[in-house]
Amino acid sequence: MTLSPLIERFIRYARIETTSSDTTGTSPSTACQHDLARLLAQELRDMGASDVLYDDVHCYVYAQIPGEGQPLGFIAHMDTSPAASGRNVSPRILPAYDGTDALLRPEDFPELRSHFGEDLIASDGTTLLGADDKAGVAEIMEMARYYLEHPEVPHRALSICFTPDEEVGQGTDHFDPDAFRAREAYTVDGGKLGVFEYECFNAAAAEVSVQGRSVHPGSAKGLMKNAATLAMEFDRLLPAAERPEYTEGREGFFMLTEIRGETDTAHLSYIVRDHDRDRFEARKETLRRVANYMNEEHGEGTISLTITDSYRNMAEYMRDHMDLVDKAFEAARAIGVTPSCEPVRGGTDGARLAEVYGIPCPNLCTGGYNFHGRYEYASIQEMEKSLQILLHIAQAC
Ligand SMILES: [Zn+2]
């Protein structure tokens, strides 16, 4: 099967290990991400992009494509999730997929039925594929190449940025808005063709410390306060059905992410999520009320609660910039794809860029699926159409 330049490019990038890490504490979190960053910077220079800037300390790549008007930004992340191995990725092409692959079985992933007849790309089953987000990286690179080779086709000035460490929540830590230049942008880090995203969770983290009273069990009556038991009580007082495993769509949740403790002290960590701002505030209030109730029941100072906001729903920043979403919808319709918007049940780098730098940043589709694991795959036809959507968006002045 002859591969298009986009797919060849994607496979080349997928083979380069760029797994990020949430334990090293460095920036970038892993040195291997530089291998892809260096290559992308060189390829952008070879294509003739302007002002290619490779931040070789923090591993960001910026480039400009000359065109009309204020620059429109496109962002993708170079790292892959530490949740699965990204070493020696060996992409497999499944031409005219018919459901018979041993790894990608429609019984396990019903979505695959909608891809019968398409050409898919999968890993060999020992690693993730890395379509998240090298599909986005490859699509942006092909868009850049197209407009550099066709300056006669009218298009916006384009600003490109490739970031490290998105998967470990540090993708924008050393982002340089001056090097980026664009004041409105898209992340190209979504999945299914035609699905765009501009709503994400409001997010907070809650840390609960439980102070018990440790007494010899033989003489503990009326004296012992078992911190580990009280920690379990705290968790039981939260709404049982409002956990990630029972919620979907725009439903928020409390999630216990860590528990440790003994008689003397115990500690609980939660994340709190809700798309709706008022319901988000109400969730934080619920945590405070549980803490207050337990302090009344078991004595002041039993529970100490710290709540820290993590990020905000990007929709709040998008209100005055819905033309970006309209443009994506128009671009999809122009190539015969029915567009839709779905709320992200997570955060995005775009949410941070909107909050910190005031850069509204909806998320575009890439054609990749089943991110962060061995069953990740991409549809070649959907990747090609995602590229067409980028080209149309860049064209619309
Ligand atoms: Zn991603």
Reply yes or no on whether 108 is catalytic. no
Q: Choose, from 119, 132, 133, 166, the residue flagged as catalytic.
A: 166
65 shares its domain with 190: yes
**Cα of 217 from ligand 1 centre, angstroms:** 51
**Cα of 200 from ligand 1 centre, angstroms:** 14
Is the peptide bond preceding residue 110 cis, with omega within 30 degrees of 0? no
pLDDT tens figures, 120-129: 999 999 999 9
The whole-number pLDDT of residue 244 equals: 94
Instruction: List the structure tokens of 145.
Output: 């190449």
Largest CA distance in the chain: 87
- Share in percent of the chain as helix, strand, coil (round to 5): 35, 25, 40
Q: Residue 381 sits in which domain range?
A: 5-199+313-395
119 shares its domain with 207: no
**Cα of 190 from ligand 1 centre, angstroms:** 7
Cβ atoms of 222 and 210 within 8 Å: the answer is no
Instruction: List the structure tokens of 164.
Output: 């490290």
Dihedral sign, Cα of residue 284, residue 289, residue 291, residue 292: positive
Where does a domain end: 310, 330, 364?
A: 310
Asked whether residue 396 carries a pLDDT value surpassing 80, the answer given is: no
- The SS3 assignment for 75 reads strand
Asked whether residue 34 carries a pLDDT value surpassing 90, the answer given is: yes
34 shares its domain with 145: yes
In one-letter notation, the amino acid at residue 267 is H
**CATH number assigned to the domain comprising residue 243:** 3.30.70.360
141 shares its domain with 213: no
Domain count, the chain: 2
360 shares its domain with 244: no
81 shares its domain with 155: yes
The whole-number pLDDT of residue 284 equals: 98
H-assigned helices in 190-302: 227-236, 277-298
Cβ atoms of 75 and 135 within 8 Å: the answer is no
Instruction: List the structure tokens of 161.
Output: 């940025």
Reply yes or no on whether 184 is catalytic. no
Where does a domain end: 257, 284, 310?
A: 310
Where does a domain end: 287, 310, 333?
A: 310
Asked whether residue 222 carries a pLDDT value surpassing 70, the answer given is: yes
**CATH number assigned to the domain comprising residue 50:** 3.40.630.10
Stated pTM of the model: 0.87
69 shares its domain with 193: yes
Instruction: List the structure tokens of 210.
Output: 């439980």
The whole-number pLDDT of residue 10 equals: 98
The whole-number pLDDT of residue 346 equals: 82
Cα separation of 307 and 206, whole Å?
4
